[in-house]
Structure 1
Amino acid sequence: MKEAKKQGGLNAEIQSRIGHQLRAMYDDVVRQGVPDRFVELIRRLDVPTPDAHLQNTGDQTTKNDGRE
C-alpha cells in the first residue's frame, strides 16, 4: 500500500505576494543609495599606496598591512 505524498511548499498566490514584497523592499534599499562614508572608503581603497611600487621590485621589506 503506497502512502500519499504530502505536498509541501507555498502556493502560487503566496509566492507572488512574497515576490512583490521583496521587490518593494529591494527598490527602497536601491533608492537610498550608497552612504557617504562608504563612497569615501571605496575612493581611498582605489588610490594606490606609496609603497605599492615596492611589491613589484622584489623588495622583501614591504610592509604587510593585513590585506595578504
Structure 2
Amino acid sequence: MKERKSLRPESAVQVRSSSARPDPALNREIQTKIGQQLRAIYDDVVDQGVPDRFAELLRNLDSQAARAKIADKDAGE
C-alpha cells in the first residue's frame, strides 16, 4: 500500500488551543508589502475609469429602474 504524504510540511502543522490567539502566518513586514502592492494594483484599476459603453448601459438600467419604480407607485395609488 502506498503511503500518503501530506501537502503541508510538518513544521507548518501546529496544534492550537481554542483560547490561544493564532500567530499570523506572515510577519508584519510581509503583510505591509502585500498591502502596498494590492493598493497599487487597485489604484491602477480605479484610474482606468469606466468605459463609455459600460457607463451608457448603467444609465439605461438606472432609467429603466426609475420608470418601473414610478409605474409601481402609480399602480399602487
Alignment TM-score, normalising by the size of structure 2: 0.54
Q: RMSD over aligned Cα, in angstroms?
A: 2.8
Q: Aligned partner of 2:27: which letter?
A: N
Q: Which runs of 5+ in 2 are unaligned?
A: 1-14, 17-21
Task: Give the structure 2 partner of residue 30 of structure 1.
Answer: 46
Answer with 17-26 or 34-43: which moved more. Answer: 34-43
Counting aligned pairs with the same residue, the percent is 56
Which residue among 61, 64, 71 is the counterpart of 1:45?
A: 61
Matches within 5 A, 1:1-68: 7-48=23-64, 52=68, 53-55=70-72, 56-57=74-75
How far apart, in 1, do the equivalents of 2:71 and 2:55 lie?
27
How far apart, in 2, do the equivalents of 1:14 and 1:37 lie?
39
How far apart, in 2, do the equivalents of 1:32 and 1:54 lie?
36
How far apart, in 1, do the equivalents of 2:54 and 2:23 lie?
46
Larger helix proportion of the pair? 2
Moved over 4 A (4+): 4-8
Deviation at 1:54, TM superposition (A): 4.3
Deviation at 1:42, TM superposition (A): 1.1
How many residues end up aligned between the 2 structures? 54
Q: Aligned partner of 1:37: which letter?
A: R
Greater relative contact order (CA < 8 Å, ≥ 6 in sequence): 1
